[in-house]
Amino acid sequence: MTYRAGIIGTGGIAGMGILGMHDEEAIGTEKIDASHAGGYHATEEIELVAVADINEENLRRFGEAWEIPESRQYLGHEPMLDAEDLDVVSVCTPSYLHHTHVVDAARSDAAPDVVWCEKPIASSVTDAEEMIDVCAETDTELLVNHSFRFTDKLRTLYDHVQEDDLLGDVHSVSAQFRMELLRNSTHLLDTLVYLLDARAERVSGYITGENEAVDSLDADREVDDAGGGGFVVLNDGTFATIDCTVPREPSSMMLSFVGSEGKLYMNNDDGEWRYWALEDGEHVERPLPGIEGAWTWEDDYKGSFANAATHVEDLLEGTTENHSTGEEAKRSLEIIVALYISHYTDGQVSVPLDRPLRDVTITSW
């Protein structure tokens, strides 16, 4: 059976490349495999049949690169959702538009069974919760593209931590990544809550106000999204320190876990994962079973889109459970929003957020 896919938004993550991730000369001029369109192209049963954008020039350029007939290149998402019968819709627009586009897709005549939404899930917790609720009401699977979850090495590591008790009771985590919190560091925070299968209970934060995306994206407006950090106490008792203030060029995604049964060090950008088991009171370095080498952008990230699209295929066929639900994606968003609230109120913040605080919106791209 062939499933029909449509994409809302024709930017880098949809299929045309992103500065800092892909060959600069190719960005915006040719199709990029590490993308939603590239993921669909890698599957056997999903065909990308339609695309929508409000920018006609970008729409035509995307359509030409990915061989979408001009009759199925729609100026705006609503005409596409009105005209097409789609099994899956990708939402690849800026984060402040995710809410509208996911809700509209779930409620549309296109009637997709899956909406594959880019990270972060939304700009406010209230928006995220409505997206989750509407998708539940319409029997639509909401799959959020926290792409690290779709790499084989991280899923294997998750099994070791959760099923094999690799670390025992985790006491402390130190985590570091680049600014900005919503645009980039949602990956770091999602990796944290994913591996520990936990959520925040208390947050204290600091926001630098600095961002690099204004220049790299040639943005025409100021946004809230910036570097920041602080501490997070998770509901399993883990104390995590978060530093997402580093500029892109010198940054590395690093997490260091200390548990009752061992220690784990993860440096994704530089390709180094190390594990020490606590044996008779001493930490002894051991290999991670089933994991050869460390996670890297080149070897693992680029393949995550094909893996995610295959997961979409499995969801459509009813052969798997959702690996990256909206409810799980909300966990990292709650931390980011709480970091901002803490900074601007000079106090610690409890999670889940109280009703008025769930409406706080962090603007980004």
241 shares its domain with 268:
yes
64 shares its domain with 83:
yes
Residue with tokens 């009401």: 137
* pLDDT on residue 155: 95
In a domain, 205, yes or no: yes
* pLDDT on residue 126: 98
Average pLDDT over residues 130-148: 97
DSSP string spanning 103-161?
HHHHHSTT--SEEEEESSS-SSHHHHHHHHHHHHHTT-EEEEE-GGGGSHHHHHHHHHH
Q: Which of 235-239, 245-249, 257-261 has the lowest mean pLDDT?
A: 245-249
Q: Which of 115-119, 242-246, 267-271, 304-308 has the lowest mean pLDDT?
A: 267-271
* pLDDT on residue 23: 59
The answer, yes or no, to whether residue 288 has pLDDT greater than 90, is: yes
Residue 269: pLDDT band (50, 70, 90) is confident
Write the pLDDT tens digit of every residue in 191-230: 999 999 999 999 999 999 999 876 665 656 688 999 999 9
Write the pLDDT tens digit of every residue in 8-57: 999 889 998 554 554 555 555 567 888 999 999 999 999 999 999 999 99
310 shares its domain with 286:
no
Asked if 304 contacts 150 with a C-beta cutoff of 8 angstroms, the reply is: yes
140 shares its domain with 194:
no
From CA 176, how far away is CA 24, in angstroms rounded? Answer: 26
In a domain, 99, yes or no: yes
Average pLDDT over residues 110-119: 98
Neighbours of 35 (CB within 10 A): 27
The total number of structural domains that make up the chain: 2
* pLDDT on residue 27: 52
Average pLDDT over residues 354-364: 94
Residue 279: pLDDT band (50, 70, 90) is very high
Write the pLDDT tens digit of every residue in 196-207: 999 999 999 999
Instruction: Please enumerate in sequence order all residues whose Cβ is within 8 A of that of 38, keeping only pairs 6 or more positions apart, or say none.
Output: 15, 31, 32, 305, 306
Q: Which of 92-101, 160-169, 210-219 has the lowest mean pLDDT?
A: 210-219
Q: Tally helices (H) and strands (E) across the chain.
A: 10, 15
In a domain, 325, yes or no: no
* pLDDT on residue 8: 98
The answer, yes or no, to whether residue 1 has pLDDT greater than 70, is: yes
Average pLDDT over residues 63-91: 97
* pLDDT on residue 357: 97
The answer, yes or no, to whether residue 131 has pLDDT greater than 70, is: yes
Asked if 240 contacts 259 with a C-beta cutoff of 8 angstroms, the reply is: no
What is the enclosing helix (H) or strand (E) of 98? helix 98-107
Extended strands (E) in the chain: 3-8, 46-53, 73-75, 88-91, 114-118, 141-145, 170-178, 200-207, 228-234, 239-246, 254-259, 262-267, 272-279, 282-286, 349-350
CA dihedral sign, ordered 20, 26, 29, 33: negative
19 shares its domain with 31:
yes
From CA 232, how far away is CA 239, in angstroms rounded? Answer: 6
Angle of CA points 280, 282, 287, to nearest 5°: 100
CATH code (residue 165): 3.30.360.10
Domain that includes residue 70, residue range: 3-147+302-317
Torsion on CA atoms 192, 264, 162, 203, rounded to nearest 10? -30
Neighbours of 100 (CB within 10 A): 16
From CA 232, how far away is CA 338, in angstroms rounded? Answer: 10
181 shares its domain with 205:
yes
Distances (CA, A) of 237 to 93, 107, 240, 333: 36, 39, 10, 19
* pLDDT on residue 16: 81
217 vs 309, higher pLDDT: 309
41 shares its domain with 139:
yes
pTM of the predicted protein model? 0.94
129 shares its domain with 193:
no
| Number of residues written out for the chain | 365
In a domain, 118, yes or no: yes
